Amino acid sequence: MALFILSPILFPLLGLLINALWGRRMSERAIGGVATLAAAAAFVVSMLMLGQLTAAEDARLTATIAPWIAAGALNVSFGFLVDRLSIVIMLIVTGIGTLIHMFSIGYMRGDERFQRYFIYLNLFLASMLTLVMADNFLVMFMGWELVGLCSYLLIGFWFKNLKNAEAGRKAFVVNRIGDVGFVLGILLIFVTFGSLSFADVFGQAEAQGETLAGAIGLITLLLFIGATGKSAQIPLFVWLPDAMAGPTPVSALIHAATMVTAGVYMMTRASALYELAPATQAIVALVGALTAFVAGTSALRQLDIKKVLAYSTVSQLGYMVAACGLGAFIAADFHLLTHAFFKAALFLAAGSVIHGIEHGMHAAHNSAPVDPQDMRYMGGLARKMPVTFAAFLLGGLALAGVPPLSGFFSKDEILLDAFKHNLPAFALLAVSSVVTAFYVGRQLTLVFAGRPRSEAAAHAVESNWLMTMPLIALTIGTVFAGLFNFPGAHPLTDWLAPVVRHGDAPKFDAPLAAVFSALAIGALAIAWFLYRNPDRAQAEAETGMGRLLAKAWCFDDAYRWAIVKPFYIISTVCAQVIDVGVIDAAVNGVGRLFHTLGNSLRSLQTGFVRNYGLVMLIGVVFVVAYFALNAR
Amino acid sequence: MDSTTFVALLSSVLFTIGVLGVLLRRSALLIFMSVELMLNAANLAFVAFAHRWVQLDGQIFVFFVMAVAAAEVAVGLALIVTIFRTKRSTNVDDLAALKG
C-alpha cells in the first residue's frame, strides 16, 4: 500500500534513473519516451488514487515510510498523504507534466544535452509531487527546496550563454529569500504547536485558535513570505520573468504545472491557519491584487513573446493569491487548475512559434538573423502555423476571460469574491482583468495577424505532431476546464469542501460576469485595432511610461540600487580592505618580519673560516680574561 | 727575568704568530703550518712549566700532543693535496661550495 501511494513520486524517479544509467546508449526518442512514460505512469496512478478517494468524503491515503528526525519533542517522519486537495494538484502536475514531456521530445531535438534535460524534467516532477504529497511541513519543505533546485538547473539549462546562467542563479537566490520566511514559519509552527504534521497542527489550531491568534498571525505571515518567493508575488516576483531564459517547455512546466503553484497550494493546505489570521488575510489579498495589477501592466509593453506570458503568469498568480487572501481558497485552486491548462497551452504554443521562426531562419538562407522571440519580427503566422495559432488563440481568450472558456469562470469567481469582501483589491483586480485582455489582444495581433515582418517569419512552418499533439490536448482542456466548477453545479467546490476552508458558497453573478466579458472583448478588439500597425509596439516601448512598464515598474533597478550595489560595495570593502589590508597583511607581515630578521642575521655568516676563527679567538680571550681576573 | 718567564713569553709570542697566521693567511698550507706553530707554542709552555714546578705531567702531555699532531698532519696534508688537485688552488676562500 505504501508503495502504491508513493508510486507517483517513484515513477519519475525510476524514469530519471533509467535515463541516467543507460541514457548514453539510448536514442533521443527512447530517452524522451522513457521520461514521458514515467510521467504518464504517475498520472495513471494518480487517476487510480482519485478512484479510491471518491469512496468517502474524508477518504485519505496515508503512508509513513520511515522516521526522519526524532530529537526530543521534535518528531518528523517521511510521511505522505493523498487527500482530495493533493489529488487535484497531483493530477494537474502529472497530466500537464506528461504533455510537456511529450512536447519537449520535439522541441529539444538535437540538443547536445538531451539526456540531461529529461533527467532534470523527471526530477522536477518527482520534487513537485513530494511537495504536494507531504503530510507534514518538513517533507513539504524538502519538496519545496528540490523544486527550487530543479528550476535553477532548468532555467540555466543553456548555461553557455552567461545571461541564462545568471537567470538561473537569480531564480535560486530570490527563492532562497522567500525560503527564509518559510523556514522561520515552520520553526514557529513547531514552537507553537509542538508538531509539524498537518493533522496535528490544523487540529490544534482549530481547537484553540483564539488563544494562539498572535502566533498564528505571525506564522501565516512567514509562510506567506515563502509563498511570495515560489509563487512570484511582490516583492519577490522578479525571478519569474527572467526564468524565460530556460527552454520554452521548461517555462511551461514552471509556469503552469509546477513550481509557481507551490505557494498557492501551500496556502490552500494551511487554509485552516489563514482563516484564523484576518490581518494576514488582508495583507495577502492586497499583495496579490497589487501583483496582479503591476505584472499585468508590465505585460503591456513587452516585445518578447515569452516575457508577455511571464508577466501574465505573475499577474494570474496574483489573482490566486488574492483569492487566498479573500478566504476563497477553492476559487484559488480552481483558477490554478484552469490557469495550468491555458498557460501551458500558451507557453507550448509560444515554444512552437519560436521553433517555427528558428526553422524559418534556417530555411531562408540569406536572411539577417533575428531574435526568434521578438514579436516585432513575427506577424502573419496564423496561416503558416494553424494548429499553433488555434491553441494560442483559445489559450489567450481563456486568459482574457472570454466566455465560455475556462479562464472566464475561474477569474469571475475571484472577482466576485473580491467585490463582496474587499473593494480596493477588487478595483485592482478589475483593472488588471481589462489589462489582461488588452495585452492578449496585442500579442495575438503582433504574432499572428498581418503580414510576416521578417524572412524568418515568412518561412516559418508548423511544428511536427510530437509538438502539436500536446497543444491540441491542452487546448481541449483550456476550453472545457471551466466545467470543473461550472456555475450551478460546482463539482470542484463540492469535492474540495471537506478538506479546504472556503468562504461563502460560490455564486455566479450574471451582471458582473457580463460586464467583465464585455470589457474583455472590448479590450481585445481595441488591441487588435491598434496593433494592426506593428510599428506602434516599437514606438510605445520608447516613451517614458512605456519604458517604465517594459522594465516592470523598475523593480529590478530598485533592487539593483538598494540591495545588489550596496552588497557589492560591502563585499568589495571586505575583500579589498579587510581581507587584503588586515588579514593578509597580518599573515604577510609575520612572514616579512622573519624574512627581514633572517636577512640581517645572514650577514654574520660570511662563509670565511677566518672570520669564524677571529670570533672564536675573541671568545677565548674573554673566557681567559674572565678566569684570569677572577683567579684571586 | 728567570728562564721560565722568558720561555713563557716566547711561547705566547709564537702562539700569537700562529693565531695571526691562521686569521690572516689564505693559503691552506700556511694556515696549517700556523696551526702547527700554535701547537708547538703550547708544547713549549707545557715543558717550561713542567720544568719550573718539577712535575712530569706537562712533559707527558707534550708527547700526546706531538702524537696527535703527527696524525693530524697526515690527514691534513692529504686533504690539502686533494683540494689542490680538484681546485688548482689552496686558497681557502675558494672553498665556498657550501655557502648559501
For A400-431, how does the pLDDT look when each residue is reduced to its tens digit (9 = 90+)?
Answer: 988 888 888 888 888 888 888 888 999 999 99
Domain-embedded: residue A238: yes
Task: Please name the member of A607, A613, A614 whose beta carbon is closest to the beta carbon of B99.
Answer: A607
CA diameter of chain B: 53
> Is pLDDT above 90 for A266?
yes
Query: Does residue A295 register a pLDDT over 70?
Result: yes
> In whole angstroms, what is the distance from residue A595 CA to residue A604 CA?
15
Nearest CA in chain B to A607: B99
Give buried/exposed letters for A577-602 (b at 16+ CB in 10 A, else e).
eeeeeeeeeeeeeeeeeeeeeeeeee
Of A605, A608, A613, the CB nearest to B93: A608
Grid coordinates given for A499:
478538506
The pLDDT value given to residue A505? 62
Dihedral of CA atoms A533, A539, A544, A547 in degrees, nearest 10, equals 90
Q: Of A609, A614, A617, which is closest to B92 when you measure between CB atoms?
A: A609
Q: Which of A609, A615, A617 to mutate to test the interface with B (most CBs of B within 10 A)?
A: A609
- B30 to chain A, minimum CA–CA distance in Å? 13
| ω into A12 cis (within 30 of 0) | no
Minimum mean pLDDT range among A134-143, A292-301, A452-461, A514-523: A452-461
Residues of B in contact with A613 (CB under 8 A): 22-23
Number of cross-chain residue pairs from A and B with Cβ atoms under 8 Å apart: 16
**What's the rounded Cα separation, in Å, for the pair A131 and A516?**
35
Amino acid type, A516: F
What is the spatial distance between Cα A487 and Cα A624, in angstroms, rounded to a whole number?
A: 120
- What pLDDT sits at residue A245? 85
- Residue with C-alpha cell 689552496? B90
Residues of chain A with pLDDT > 70, as a percent, come to 98
Residue to substitute from A601, A605, A610, A616, interface B, most B β-carbons within 10 A: A610
Q: Torsion-angle region of residue A111: left (phi > 0), alpha (psi -120 to 50) or beta?
A: beta
Average pLDDT in chain A? 88
Average pLDDT of span A572-586? 90
Residue A610: list chain B partners with CB under 8 A: 22-24, 92
Within-domain flag for A500: no
- Pick from B16, B22, B91, B98 the residue to mutate for testing the A interface (most A CBs within 10 Å): B22
Q: Please compute the mean of the pLDDT values over residues A370-378 and round it to a whole number.
A: 82
Nearest to A607 among B22, B23, B96 (CB): B96
* Residues linked to residue A79 through DSSP beta bridges, in sequence order: A64
| pLDDT over 80 (residue A61) | yes
Pairwise CA distance, residues A272 & A253, whole Å:
29
Which positions ≥6 away from A49 have C-beta within 8 Å? Answer: A5, A8, A61, A82, A87, A90
Domains contained in chain A, number: 2
Locate the chain A residue with the closest alpha carbon to B19: A617
Is residue A263 one of the residues assigned to a domain? yes
For the segment A190-212, the average pLDDT, to the nearest whole number, is 86
What are the beta bridge partners of residue A61?
A82
Q: Is A574 on the interface with B (CB under 8 A)?
A: no
C-alpha to C-alpha distance for B61 and A536, rounded to whole angstroms: 120
Among the partner-chain residues B23, B92, B98, the one whose CB lies closest to the CB of A614 is B23
| A residues 23..42 contacting B (CB < 8 A) | none
Residue A563's SS3 state is: helix
Q: Residue A564: which pLDDT band, with cuts at 50, 70 and 90?
A: confident
CB contacts, 8 Å: B22 with chain A:
610, 613
Find out whether the peptide bond into A404 is cis, omega within 30 degrees of 0: yes
The reply to whether A581 falls in a domain is yes
At A501-515, the pLDDT tens digits run 766 666 677 888 888
Question: Is the pLDDT assigned to residue B100 strictly greater than 60?
Answer: no
Cβ-Cβ contacts under 8 Å, A603 against chain B: none
> Is pLDDT larger for residue A375 or for residue A181?
A181
ipTM of the complex: 0.74
d(CA A432, CA A427): 9
Q: Write down the domain spans for chain B.
A: 3-98
Of all residues in chain A, the percent with pLDDT exceeding 90 is: 38
A607–B23 C-beta distance less than 8 A: no
Q: Does A610 touch chain B (CB under 8 A)?
A: yes
- Domain around A251: 1-182+227-268
Q: Which chain A residues have a beta carbon less than 8 Å from that of B24? A: 610
* A617/B contact by beta carbon, under 8 A: yes
Residue A68 lies in a domain: yes
Q: Which residue has the cell 696534508?
A: B77
Chain A closest-CA separation from residue B24 CA (Å): 7
Q: Is A614 on the interface with B (CB under 8 A)?
A: yes
CB contact under 8 A, A613 and B23: yes
Backbone angles phi, psi at A454, to 5 degrees: -155, 160
- Say how many C-beta atoms besides its own lie within 10 A of residue A301's C-beta: 24
**Cβ-defined contact of A613 to B22 (cutoff 8 Å):** yes
Task: Report the residue of chain B nearest A612, measured CA to CA.
Answer: B23
pLDDT at B16: 92
Query: Is residue A591 in some structural domain?
Result: yes
Name every chain A residue with its beta carbon within 8 A of the beta carbon of B96.
607
Summarize pLDDT for B21-54 with one digit per residue, the tens: 988 888 889 999 999 999 999 999 999 999 988 9
Residues A230, A214: Cα–Cα separation, whole Å? 25
Least confident residue range of A309-318, A461-470, B68-77: A461-470
**A614 neighbourhood in chain B, CB within 8 Å:** 23
Burial (CB count within 10 angstroms: exposed 0-12, middle 13-18, buried 19+), residue A374: middle
Give mean pLDDT, residues A464-485. Answer: 87
Write the DSSP string, A51-115: HHHTT-TT--EEEEEEEEEEETTEEEEEEEEE-HHHHHHHHHHHHHHHHHHHHHHHHTTT-TTHH
Q: What is the CATH number of domain B3-98?
A: 1.10.287.3510
Q: What angle do CA A373, A374, A377 make, to 5 degrees?
A: 115
Closest-CA residue of chain A to B24 = A610
Residues of A in contact with B90 (CB under 8 A): none
Is B23's CB within 8 Å of A608's CB? no
In terms of Cα–Cα distance, which of A502, A478, A479, A476 is closest to A490?
A: A502
Residue A51: inside a domain: yes
**Statement: residue A366 has pLDDT above 70:** no
Nearest to A101 by CA among A194, A193, A5, A11: A11
Output the average pLDDT for chain B.
89
Domain boundary among A268, A298, A325: A268
Query: pLDDT (tens digit, 9 = 90+) per residue, A21-50?
Result: 998 888 888 999 999 999 999 999 999 999
A384 in a domain, yes or no? no
